[in-house]
Amino acid sequence: MTTKSKILAHRTLGKIRNLFSNVLFWFGVVLVAFTAILSVHFVWPLSKPRWWADFFGIAVGFLASGITSFLFYFLVVYVPERRRKKTIKSNLLQIYRDIKRDILQQVIHASIKGGRSDLEASCEEIERLMDPNEFRATFRDGREGHEGFYAFMNQMSDNTPEFQEIILNLKMLSKQIEFVIHNLSFDDESLFGFFKRLELTLLALKNSRPGYDESKELCRFILEICAGWGFVKGYRDYDIIERMILEL
């Protein structure tokens, strides 16, 4: 079996496990069984065997209890939990977007200090750069220290206000990711793994120090979230963190 086949089989088994652990799935099974038994008892024209009356009474009582229990669970547990999950998800998405906007503002300020004269820290410019394609188009060119993304990277060699502001934003994002991991149930193992890796990455980055070599990981992370860069798939047309938050 190839590696790709093993990954596909693992994902399929994961989906099957999630299905059988889903309360809605079992409610559907109980509801179908309840409807089938009632249909057989009241609609089926043929005579029933002797044991049918006893079986019908026991089965209907058992299935009716299951439906009642589910409705109680749905109203008391499921609906509030879904509402809570939606609130946490929308809050994380908004906070992440705000943090990314502030990081972009610092990137622009640092790039201007680094020698770029084609940028301005306006709201319109920041919103434009929120799109990974626009960010790449704006920062990919340049070979000299005052061009492209280099103008920003060189400013991270010193303890500039922009460097400190970016670190502060990463600390705030780290707190939010930690909160989500500890307060949200994950049905998808790969989704949980992504946010756990992100949490560990942020824990390391928030202790970054200014310097040519010391700030490389920080700059690489900013390039990943702003330009859609990834080591496996290269450049993407979307922000991977935002995409994963939407899948929560």
Over residues 109-165, the pLDDT tens digits come to 999 999 999 999 999 999 999 999 999 999 987 778 788 999 999 999 999 999 999
> Going by C-beta distance under 8 Å and a sequence separation of 6 or more, which residues neighbour residue 239?
100, 130, 132, 225, 228
What is the average pLDDT across 26-43? 88
**What's this model's pTM, rounded to 2 decimal places?**
0.77
Query: By C-alpha distance, which of 170, 226, 232 is closest to 201?
Result: 170
For 96, 126, 200, 224, the CA distances from 91, given in Å and listed in that order, are 8, 21, 21, 22
Model confidence band, residue 167 (pLDDT cutoffs 50, 70, 90): very high
